[in-house]
Structure 1
């Protein structure tokens, strides 16, 4: 497997009102802005997504207003609603059981922010941030953890990117049941799978713009949902193979760092970028790479940066 290196960082941003989040976001704004849809750049489109955000995530509206003011860039509000972003499709694998959420995140290295963020927008949350304040996975101080995988279908609709929904669920929910109930009223732009864990329950839910939320057979997910996987899809992504593997592995971190769960570079340049093991009741997460790990917690969050090796030595 060809090795590569990527630098990950850990930052604290508080409630977004002291300039730390803005300094981070401004440094990335030029590359982020290109991910906004053409509709989101129009006054009508910007108003539509603002209204959508206001209707479905009212608790986060004051936070959105605060971040927009600090970022102070044209189109910042439309971008930060995450309702006018170009779709993306990470090929990940995840499982939840016994108070643990374990996941591999697979994506092209240069398209992932690689930033572990400790925030307190509405409550303490720690997670792997993307698209400036969305989350690929994370946990809150109530002991709830959530992570995402792409659902494997190309449907698209007028809803939110899954990243902001992970953020919203962690900011506003205490339990898996509460989060799943909240999901039923949230429009999502593309098919996604969410795995949720708290102290007593673990669950995977399939969501999409063309379906109501559907509880999966177990708390495991790769990159398909309730529909059959074609031979072509399986050759390209190995989604059924990975699902079988993670069901067999349970929450064994070592298995996540080996094929087929640990993935080498594919035709799109995607590969496993990190493994995350959340123990949300303990308020602790550990990120893993071959031969290395980095632990963070609510009790002891340590800002800094580390350059990690992606891929295993041949």
Structure 2
């Protein structure tokens, strides 16, 4: 069994024709998901606008610009606010690694585990507000992980609880962090004040090596912790069925071992591409779709698969398109990436 999907790296300083093309391609699927409980099951346009103005006012002009590119529809506007969206559940592993020999800079790393048909697969290099951002896109303008020009990197993972509440979808919060924050502490302050609609863990690492993981939930106060590794539960497993299906505890134990024993970042990458961290349950919605390594000091990004990888940076960013083929058959570990 194998699956395939498209990956592309794009540069577009302000949203325009490239973003519009992405929207037109993905909107039918997003619209069906957003309206699965009916139009009245989602917050109104006025409620969405008020939420953005209250919690992320700096994004409002950008939101309005995106709405105009979509044609100005009511449903499109409400979806793009990501205010109280339908629930969504993924897998994912993430962490930070510090070179015990002090020869390499600290890195933020992650595996993104989800259903292939739901992956946008777009690594976007943008300057939407005051600084350049490279991020894996989700929900058309949100972010799954990324790094900004100030040298702050961030990623997210599902926190292992089914509770939902009043708040934003976490990809838009991560986008807001990457657009405006400069340090890990800036990002922590943002996560403490913006409500989210589900439980997530956000890992942060800045260019000075300051790092934190923040546990956010709709019904609990944010908790700031020092966790070198995180999978899909926070302080304890609260959804045993999900933890068992996604091997969350096993992945955490393995990732902790990788981070403890790795002597260089390539060994960390080898760990990410090794079971149980690397999952092939794509048809069940939690196979590994890509591995990522972010180097916030040098502002470099590596998006990796067993047979391929993409290297990018703010200084050297190349637009590209790849057809990614993933198979359950054992795959070789890619060679160490060449310097950018």
8 Å contact kept, 2:237–2:243: no
Partner residue of 2:309? 293
Q: Which of 24, 27, 32 pairs up with 2:22?
A: 24
- Gaps of at least 5 residues in structure 1 are none
- Gaps of at least 5 residues in structure 2 are 99-105, 260-264, 331-340
Partner residue of 1:13? 12
Partner residue of 2:87? 87
Per-residue CA distance 1:177-229 (angstroms, 9 max, x = gap): 11001111100000000011112212111101011111234132100012345
TM-score normalised per structure 1: 0.94
Deviation at 1:292, TM superposition (A): 1.3
8 Å contact kept, 1:290–1:311: no
Per-residue CA distance 1:130-169 (angstroms, 9 max, x = gap): 1111111011000000001000100101100000001000
State yes or no: 1:311 paired with 2:327: yes
8 Å contact kept, 1:152–1:224: yes
Q: Secondary structure at the match of 1:211?
A: coil
Distance 2:95 2:43 in 1: 40
Q: Secondary structure at the match of 2:297?
A: helix
Distance 1:30 1:231 in 2: 34
Distance 2:125 2:271 in 1: 28
Distance 1:148 1:45 in 2: 27
Partner residue of 1:211? 220
Deviation at 1:35, TM superposition (A): 2.5
Q: Map residues 255-274 of structure 1 onto 2, 5 A cutoff.
A: 255-265=271-281, 268-274=284-290
- Displacement over 4 Å in runs of 4+: 37-44
Partner residue of 1:236? 245
8 Å contact kept, 2:115–2:282: no
Distance 2:184 2:39 in 1: 32
Partner residue of 1:111? 118
Deviation at 1:271, TM superposition (A): 0.4
Give the paired residue count: 312
Q: RMSD of aligned C-alpha atoms?
A: 1.9
Change (3 A) 1:228 1:120: same
Deviation at 1:13, TM superposition (A): 2.3
8 Å contact kept, 2:160–2:237: no
TM-score normalised per structure 2: 0.87
